[in-house]
Chain A
Amino acid sequence: DIQMTQSPSSLSASVGDTVTITCRASQNISKYLNWYQQTPGKAPTLLIYAASRLHRGVPSRFSGGGSGTDFTLTISSVQPEDFATYYCQQTYNTPPLTFGGGTKVEIK
Chain B
Amino acid sequence: QLQLQESGPGLVKPSETLSLTCTVSGGSISSNSYYWGWIRQPPGKGLEWLGTIYYTGSIYDNPSLKSRLTVSVDTSKNQFSLKLSSVTAADTGTYYCARFLKGGWYSDVWGQGTLVTVSS
Contact = CB atoms under 8 A, between A and B. Distances in A.
Interface string A23-62: 0000000001010100000111110011000010000000
Interface string A80-100: 000000010101001111111
Contacts of A44: 47, 96, 107, 110
A-side interface size class: 20 to 34
A101 interface: yes
A106 B112 CA distance: 23
A99 B105 CA distance: 13
Interface string B95-120: 01000010011111011110000000
Interface residues of B, number: 22
B63 A45 contact: no
A96 B111 CA distance: 21
Nearest to A85: B46
Contacts of B113: 43
Contacts of A46: 106-108
Nearest to A55: B108
A96 B64 contact: yes
Nearest to B37: A97
Most central of B52, B60, B61, B107 by chain A CB within 10 Å: B107
B48 interface: yes
Contact of B62 (A32, A36, A96, A100): A96
A42 B47 CA distance: 13
B108 A97 contact: no
B48 A99 contact: yes
Interface centre among B101, B105, B110, B113 (most CB of A within 10 A): B105
Contacts of B62: 95-96
A100 B101 CA distance: 20
Contacts of B110: 43-45
B106 A102 contact: no
Interface of A: 32, 34, 36, 42-46, 49-50, 55, 87, 89, 91, 94-102
